[in-house]
Amino acid sequence: MATAKSRKAAPGRLAQKTANPEPRVYVSAPPPVAPSFYHDLVWNLRNGVLAVTESGQIAVMNDVAYRIFGLTPRESDIGRPYSAVLKDLPDVMRIVAGAFELSHLPNRAELRVKRTNKVIGYTLSQVRDTRGRITGATLFIKDLTRVEQLEERERLRDRLAALGEMAAAIAHEVKNPLAGIEVMAGLLKRQLLDNQDAQSILKDIIKEAKMANAIVVEVLDFVRPIRLQVEDSRLDEVVRDAMAMAESHRNRGQVEVSMSFPDDLPGIQGDPHQLRQIFTNLLTNAFEAMNGAGQVSISAAQLPAEEEVAVGSDVKAVPMIQVEVSDSGPGVPPEVIDKMFSPFFTTKPQGSGLGLAIVRKIVDAHDGRIDVSAGPQGGARFRIILPVTGNHELFR
C-alpha cells in the first residue's frame, strides 16, 4: 500500500514543479569585437610580434619589433616581402624562412642580432586555417639584452668574490714588506747624503715602492664590494666637484672644459661619492691624453623611459640620464676600444689598468652602462647612461 501511495503522489509533485518552474537566465550573444581591438592588442604587447603570410608578405609588425631590430616603423612595410624589409637582418630572415621549412620550430631560443648587438629570445609558430593548412608564420620576440647584462654581472660578482679573497691575502703579505723597503731606503738616503749615486738609486727605490703600494691599494679598491650610500644627487654638481678633484690629480694646463646641462635635468638616486669617482677618472684621463692643450666637452640629456630597470621586486621602464664626456685628444685605436674596461689593461707606461675597470664597476652598480667611441672631432667620447632610479643591488 505504501508503494501505491508513493506512486500516486509522484505525479502530484511533478505537476507542482511544472506549475511553478524555476526561473531561467537568458544570456545574449556577445557583440562582435571590432577589428581595431586586435590591432590595439598586438600594438600594446610588451613583446615584439612579426607575422608573415605564406607568400612571404608582412602582415603584422609592431613597434616593439621595429625597436628591437633597429628599424624605422613604416606603414608601407605591411604587405611588402619580409626579405625586403629585413634585408639588413639576414640572421632574422633565416629564422622566418625556417617557419615554412622546419618540422620542429624553435621555442624560447636565443639570438644575438648583429645589426643592433641585442640578444633576443624568440618563439616561432605557424599560422593554420580551420582545415589545418599553413597560411603564415608568427615570430614572437623578447629583448633579453638586459637579462644577459644581469647574468654577466652575476658572473662578474662571483669572479670578483674569489679575486677579492686572493687579493686581500696578497695585499696583507705585500704591503708590509713594501712599507719596510720604503722606510729602510729613506733611512739609508739620510745616512748617505754625500753619495750622489746612492741618493739617486735610493730615490728610485722609494719611488718604485710607493708605486707598487699604490697598485696594491687600487687592486683592493677594485675587488672590494661596493656599498652605495644612495641619496638624491644632481649630476651637474657631481661633475663640478669631479673637475676640481681631477685638477688636483693632474695639471689641467690650457685645456678648456665646457659643460652643457639642461636646467630641468632631474636628479638621480645614486651615491654622489662614487659618481664623482667616475667623472674624476674620466677627466683625469682626458687631461693626461691632451698633455695640457685641447678641449673637453661634458653634456647631459634626459632619455625617454624605454629601458627596463629592476626597481625593488618589480621591473619598470624608468627615465635615463645620458652624460657624454668628449675630448680632443689623440683618440682610442679601434683594436683597443673593446679592452679599455678590462682589468689590468693599460696603454700608459706607469698605469695599473684598473681606473676604467673601477669606473665600469661603479656604473654597473647604479644599473647603468658606459661605452667609448671616437669623438665627432677626433679624440675619445665616453657615454654614461644612468637611470633616474634603480635597484642598486651591488656586489655583495
Domains with residue ranges and CATH for the chain: 38-143 (3.30.450.20), 148-223 (1.10.287), 231-387 (3.30.565.10)
pLDDT greater than 70 at residue 378: yes
Mean pLDDT across 7-15: 45
The answer for residues whose C-beta is within 8 angstroms of residue 189's C-beta and 6 or more apart is 198, 199, 202, 203, 206
pLDDT (0 to 100) of residue 28: 54
Give the integer Cα–Cα distance in Å for 148 and 127: 30
Give the integer Cα–Cα distance in Å for 21 and 296: 89
59-92 burial, b for 16+ CB within 10 Å, e for fewer? bbbbebbbbbbebeeeeebeeeebeebbeebeeb
The answer for residues whose C-beta is within 8 angstroms of residue 170's C-beta and 6 or more apart is 216, 219
- Res. 351 pLDDT band, cuts 50 70 90: low
pLDDT (0 to 100) of residue 21: 56
- How many other C-beta atoms lie within 10 A of the C-beta of residue 379? 21
Compute φ and ψ for 226, nearest 5 degrees: -85, 130
What is the SS3 string spanning the chain? CHHHHHHHHHHHHHHHHHHCCCCCCCCCCCCCCCHHHHHHHHHCCCCEEEEEECCCEEEEECHHHHHHHCCCCCHHHCCCEHHHHCCCCHHHHHHHHHHHCCCCCCCCEEEEECCCCEEEEEEEEEEECCCCCEEEEEEEEEECHHHHHHHHHHHHHHHHHHHHHHHHHHHHHHHHHHHHHHHHHHHHHHHCCCCHHHHHHHHHHHHHHHHHHHHHHHHHHHHCCCCCCCEEECHHHHHHHHHHHHHHHCCCCEEEEEEECCCCCCCEEECHHHHHHHHHHHHHHHHHHHCCEEEEEEEEEEECCCCEEEECCEEEECCEEEEEEEECCCCCCHHHHCCCCCCCCCCCCCCCCCHHHHHHHHHHHCCCEEEEEECECECEEEEEEEECCCCCCCCC
Which residue type is seen at 356?
L
Residue written as cell 683592493?
220
Which one, of 92, 77, 124, lies nearest residue 105 by Cα? 124
Residue written as cell 654581472?
153
Strands 231-233 and 268-270 come out as: antiparallel
- Res. 80 pLDDT band, cuts 50 70 90: very high
Which one, of 93, 92, 91, 63, lies nearest residue 75 by Cα? 63
* 50, β-bridge pairs: 61, 139
Task: Give residue-wise pLDDT tens across range 121-159.
Answer: 888 988 888 888 889 999 998 888 777 767 776 777 677
Task: Give residue-wise pLDDT tens across range 26-72.
Answer: 555 566 777 778 777 877 787 889 999 999 999 989 988 998 888 88
Task: Give residue-wise pLDDT tens across range 82-115.
Answer: 999 999 898 889 888 888 877 778 777 888 888 7
Angle at CA 171, nearest 5°, toward 170 and 172? 90
pLDDT (0 to 100) of residue 104: 76
Contact 316, 328 (CB under 8 A): no
Terminal-residue alpha carbon distance, the chain: 88
Q: Mean pLDDT in the chain?
A: 80
Mean pLDDT across 248-277: 89
- Choice among 155-159, 195-199, 266-270, 289-293 with the minimum mean pLDDT: 155-159
Q: Give the three cell numbers for residue 392.
A: 642598486
pLDDT greater than 90 at residue 298: yes
- Res. 118 pLDDT band, cuts 50 70 90: confident
pLDDT greater than 50 at residue 14: no
% of the chain exceeding 70 in pLDDT: 82
170-184 burial, b for 16+ CB within 10 Å, e for fewer? ebeebeeebeebbee
